[in-house]
């Protein structure tokens, strides 16, 4: 990776923090937003000048780009039969679409789920089975190799270093930066991936390669739960013949479509539960106005914000107790801690981050009025 001038790197970091702030600040709201249709983006891997796994795969005459497209279109046909499901494709023919554009298509359609369809390959022809991936750190060399192969399509683009923020598919370290954006959706991504994987195993008796995490560029830029499916190994002749056949493609698309429908249903059940919780708001402790010492500086940690009120029970806040809710402007804000000690509030912030509120931050008040942290620190020093 070419190193960038310092100011550019700082700018990039600030940008990433700013973007993730916007998306991570409001996770509760994101989950409870009501939408008419369930939008699923189906992404057939590769296409056009990029044939997909090559040359190992086509020694038997199989082409990843063709099989991926065929399975993808079949999944779409099945899902389009449902009135409340909207299907968006990143490609419907043999054309090259770069990874950023694929993610942009998904983001623009404000999709609920992104599914990328691929075929696997391996040096040994013995490897077989279907696998599902969500974005994460590679747990092992094999997962890294899969991601590296799928990510290498960015070499088709001259300006890939600039376009993908200096990402280098060959560097395991480069992938760590990938995980930031998808963190918000990782639970839902894993749930969707798990449903697809289970569907392969129980409906089709495919070998269970389980849900794995690895750093896929195409999953990095999507702002929604996202899963990459490796439908099977084209380097395994038997599996290649299956995936290349009408029967195999029909069965695979059926299994994936069924899993998507299951995922949608479980999501809807979750939303219903959330609504029930929301109606029961009277017993919430709210932020108590500070009566004594009206100009006293106090610190709190903000965990999250939501448009609709969420009950401040530990199960809604990753097990954290004594969450306080406060209505500010059009939002409900959720805090822990209420102390005059900056040291103590830092401990609270660390506790929140450890629990999974990665963007928890310290806010400061003078009396009941929120003030800048720098102002508060000046005042207490």
Interface positions with Zn ion (CB under 5 A) = 45, 52, 118, 150
Give me the least distance between CB of 230 and Zn ion, in Å please.
8
Identity of the residue, 45 or 309, whose beta carbon is nearer to Zn ion in the bound complex: 45
Identity of the residue, 112 or 150, whose beta carbon is nearer to Zn ion in the bound complex: 150
Identity of the residue, 45 or 131, whose beta carbon is nearer to Zn ion in the bound complex: 45
Give me the least distance between CB of 229 and Zn ion, in Å please.
10
* Pairwise CA distance, residues 86 & 83, whole Å: 8
Identity of the residue, 253 or 312, whose beta carbon is nearer to Zn ion in the bound complex: 253
Identity of the residue, 53 or 360, whose beta carbon is nearer to Zn ion in the bound complex: 53
Give me the least distance between CB of 146 and Zn ion, in Å please.
9
Contacts of 9 (CB under 8 A, 6+ apart): none
- Helices and strands (DSSP H and E) totals, the chain: 13, 11
Region for 98 from its dihedrals, namely left if φ exceeds 0, alpha if ψ lies in -120 to 50, beta otherwise = beta
Helices 246-279 and 64-80, packing angle to 10 deg: 50
Of 222, 230, 228, residue with least CA distance to 101:
222
Identity of the residue, 146 or 320, whose beta carbon is nearer to Zn ion in the bound complex: 146
Of 99, 181, 175, residue with least CA distance to 137:
175
Identity of the residue, 51 or 367, whose beta carbon is nearer to Zn ion in the bound complex: 51
Give me the least distance between CB of 37 and Zn ion, in Å please.
28
Residue at token pair 């079949």: 74
Backbone dihedral angles phi then psi of residue 137, each to the nearest 5 degrees: -75, 140
Give me the least distance between CB of 62 and Zn ion, in Å please.
12
Of 50, 45, 2, 65, residue with least CA distance to 155:
50
Identity of the residue, 54 or 194, whose beta carbon is nearer to Zn ion in the bound complex: 54
Residue at token pair 């790197």: 9
Identity of the residue, 154 or 304, whose beta carbon is nearer to Zn ion in the bound complex: 154
> 28 in helix, strand or coil?
helix
Give me the least distance between CB of 45 and Zn ion, in Å please.
4
Contacts of 109 (CB under 8 A, 6+ apart): 39, 41, 86, 88
Give me the least distance between CB of 121 and Zn ion, in Å please.
9
Give me the least distance between CB of 60 and Zn ion, in Å please.
16
The total of other beta-carbon atoms located within 10 Å of residue 317's CB is 22
* Pairwise CA distance, residues 111 & 284, whole Å: 33
| Residue whose CB is nearest to Zn ion in the complex, by number | 118
Q: Strand 113-120 relative to strand 38-44: parallel, antiparallel, unpaired?
A: parallel
In degrees, rounded to 5, the angle at the alpha carbon of residue 320 between the alpha carbons of residues 314 and 322 is 80
Q: Strand 85-89 relative to strand 38-44: parallel, antiparallel, unpaired?
A: parallel
Between the two ends of the chain, the Cα-to-Cα distance in Å is 44
Give me the least distance between CB of 73 and Zn ion, in Å please.
16
């Amino acid at each position: 990776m070419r190193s960038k001038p310092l100011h550019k790197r700082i700018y990039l970091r600030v940008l990433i923090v700013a973007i993730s702030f916007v998306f991570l600040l409001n996770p509760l709201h994101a989950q409870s937003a009501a939408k008419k249709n369930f939008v699923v983006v189906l992404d057939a891997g590769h296409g056009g000048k990029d044939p997909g796994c090559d040359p190992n795969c086509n020694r038997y005459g199989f082409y990843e780009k063709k099989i991926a497209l065929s399975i993808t279109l079949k999944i779409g046909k099945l899902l389009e039969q449902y009135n409340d499901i909207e299907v968006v494709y990143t490609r419907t023919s043999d054309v090259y679409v770069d990874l950023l554009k694929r993610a942009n298509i998904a983001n623009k359609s404000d999709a609920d789920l992104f599914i990328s369809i691929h075929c696997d390959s391996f040096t040994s022809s013995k490897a077989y089975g279907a696998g599902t991936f969500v974005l994460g750190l590679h747990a092992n060399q094999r997962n890294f190799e899969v991601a590296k192969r799928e990510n290498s399509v960015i070499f088709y683009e001259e300006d890939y270093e600039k376009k993908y923020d200096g990402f280098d598919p060959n560097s395991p370290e480069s992938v760590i930066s990938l995980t930031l954006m998808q963190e918000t959706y990782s639970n839902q991504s894993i749930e969707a991936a798990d449903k697809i994987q289970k569907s392969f195993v129980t409906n089709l008796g495919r070998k269970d390669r389980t849900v794995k995490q690895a750093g896929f560029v195409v999953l990095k830029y999507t702002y929604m739960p996202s899963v990459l499916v490796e439908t099977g190994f084209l380097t395994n002749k038997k599996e290649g013949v299956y995936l290349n056949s009408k029967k195999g493609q029909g069965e695979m698309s059926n299994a994936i479509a069924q899993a998507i429908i299951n995922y949608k249903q479980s999501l809807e059940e979750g939303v219903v539960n959330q609504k029930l919780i929301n109606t029961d708001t009277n017993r919430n402790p709210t932020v108590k106005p500070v009566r004594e010492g009206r100009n006293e500086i106090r610190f709190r940690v903000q965990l999250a914000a939501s448009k609709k009120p969420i009950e401040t029970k530990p199960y809604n806040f990753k097990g954290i107790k004594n969450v306080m809710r406060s209505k500010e402007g059009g939002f409900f804000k959720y805090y822990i801690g209420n102390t005059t000690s900056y040291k103590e509030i830092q401990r609270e912030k660390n506790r929140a981050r450890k629990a999974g509120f990665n963007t928890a931050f310290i806010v400061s008040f003078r009396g009941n009025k929120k003030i800048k942290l720098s102002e508060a620190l000046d005042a207490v020093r």
